[in-house]
Amino acid sequence: MVLKDRYGLHITTSSDVAQQAYIDAVDAILSATGNVENALDKCLNADPNFALAYSARARILQLTGKMPDAKLAAEKAVELAVNATDRERQHAEIFKLLTSGQGPAGLELIRKHVTEYPTDAFALAPACSVFGLIGFSGRVDRENEQVELLKPLTKAYGDDWWFATVFGFALVEIGEWLKGREMVEKALQQNPRSAHTAHVWAHALYEAGEDRIVADYLEKWLPDYSLDNYLSCHCWWHYCLSKLMLGEHKDVLPVYEKYCSPKVSNSPSINVFTDGAALLWRSELAGMDRSKRHWEELLEFRKNSFPKPMVFVDAHGALPSIALNDQDDVDAWHDALVEAGQKEKLPAGMIPAELLKAFSSYETKDWNSVITILEPITDDVIRIGGSRAQRDLIQNTYLSALVNDGRIEAARSFLDTKHDRQPTVPLHNFN
């Protein structure tokens, strides 16, 4: 009997136990929910030669930042896939490329793969979302590129909850958040405990300015979500952000400290650092007092986890040292950004170095310099990666500089240009 995955694709195993455990593991990764390793252990105990289970293991190890182990698992998958189908061999090759630092080649193969096997969702997933291969490509038109990758696949996937989640997210990010929200709400009806889906719904509601709904929803949803799952930090970040937007400042740092800080979070280091730095900076923009202790924790974490700039961390890396007035570290990070940017080692090129200068100018209350630096690169900031919600760190810094410089009408005019979203900065800042 031919065994298949949840999408009806043939998988080379003769074990019913391995089949079901593999389906469970894949859904756990796609939803960022559940104990993936237990499912994969069960799968491989039932069939030690099941190639795609090693690809799945490579993916979860990659998502959690364990790159040497991810690379070994991906290579094992390719080795075992010699005896599998053409689809499985190509599937395994994709993850080998992705875990060996060959992202562009991996994306190219994914594009080819989904024309042949459109419902190979697990192979498609690394090219989706704002932290995916397109999201971190550094291309200015990456959001539309994401939509164009997924749009032709809508008929093949039908009402599948995972596809509705990723396509809905892509629509949210191009300003079609009403349509994206509708898709994601249908996905939540199918899989209400999908953290990925709940997270995308929070993004859609953020774009709609419905922060109270976000806060109330996540307050009920998150307590049952394990801190060991890789989206934990980021989902709690959304909760903190909603509280910040609502002006409920007393709740922000206690929640951050309990669920997101480097001392407690098991989430990927990139989320722990960038979410923490963005939240602390935005909390100060919103009028909260500076927490030196939390900035010190983040600076130590960045030095240990990211000794050199990398995608997305590059744009956030200097924030702790700027807040702590550690000029030596600011200068060292700036020099590293310039060197990496000039050598084309950063997808966003020289944009992160410009952002560092703008943040430094903000700290010294040189409002005019902040405005002068950020105005010319407004349309290029998308290159750093991340979502609209995450890039509001920069937008709100710019808006705050305009307000502090007495250019209230310019700030209002800038907000008016964002016609496809509700104001995503506390409006009392502009009274």
Q: Which CATH number fits domain 209-430: 1.10.10, 1.25.40, 3.80.10, 3.40.50?
A: 1.25.40
Query: What is residue 299's predicted lDDT score, i.e. its pLDDT?
Result: 98
Helix (H) or strand (E) holding 215: helix 211-221
pTM over 0.85: yes
Kindly tell me if the per-residue pLDDT of 426 is higher than 70.
no
Q: How far is CA 31 from CA 129, 167, 192, 278, in A?
A: 12, 14, 10, 25
Residue pLDDT, tens place only, 263-300 = 999 999 999 999 999 999 999 999 999 999 999 999 99
In contact, 125 and 94? CB cutoff 8 Å: no
With the C-alpha atoms ordered 370, 375, 377, 382, is the resulting torsion angle positive or negative?
Answer: positive
Mean pLDDT of 210-232: 96
In 25-124, at which residue ranges do the beta strands (DSSP E only) sit?
A: none
Domain layout of the chain by residue ranges: 16-127, 140-208, 209-430
On average, the pLDDT of the chain sits at 96
Query: What is residue 422's predicted lDDT score, i.e. its pLDDT?
Result: 67
With the C-alpha atoms ordered 380, 386, 387, 391, is the resulting torsion angle positive or negative?
Answer: negative
The span from the CA of 16 to the CA of 231, in Å, is: 30
- Structure confidence at residue 417 as a pLDDT band (50, 70, 90): confident
Residue pLDDT, tens place only, 362-382 = 999 999 999 999 999 999 999
User: What is the third-level CATH fold of 140-208?
Assistant: 1.25.40
Query: What is residue 50's predicted lDDT score, i.e. its pLDDT?
Result: 98
> For the chain, what is the radius of gyration of the CA atoms?
22
Kindly tell me if the per-residue pLDDT of 115 is higher than 80.
yes
- Structure confidence at residue 415 as a pLDDT band (50, 70, 90): confident
Residue pLDDT, tens place only, 175-207 = 999 999 999 999 999 999 999 999 999 999 999
Residue pLDDT, tens place only, 134-183 = 999 999 999 999 999 999 999 999 999 999 999 999 999 999 999 999 99
Mean pLDDT of 373-395: 97
Kindly tell me if the per-residue pLDDT of 427 is higher than 90.
no
Q: How far is CA 236 from CA 253, 257, 275, in A?
A: 11, 10, 10
Do the domains 140-208 and 209-430 sit in the same CATH topology, yes or no?
Answer: yes
| Ranges 226-235, 319-328, 421-430: which has the least confidence | 421-430
- Structure confidence at residue 126 as a pLDDT band (50, 70, 90): very high
Alpha helices by DSSP H, listed for 324-407, are 327-342, 351-363, 367-374, 388-404
User: What is the third-level CATH fold of 16-127?
Assistant: 1.25.40
Percent share of the chain, pLDDT over 90: 95
- Structure confidence at residue 230 as a pLDDT band (50, 70, 90): very high
Kindly tell me if the per-residue pLDDT of 9 is higher than 90.
yes
Mean pLDDT of 23-36: 96
Query: What is residue 428's predicted lDDT score, i.e. its pLDDT?
Result: 46
Query: What is residue 197's predicted lDDT score, i.e. its pLDDT?
Result: 98
Mean pLDDT of 67-88: 97
- Structure confidence at residue 103 as a pLDDT band (50, 70, 90): very high
The span from the CA of 235 to the CA of 217, in Å, is: 11
In contact, 10 and 3? CB cutoff 8 Å: yes
Percent share of the chain, pLDDT over 70: 97
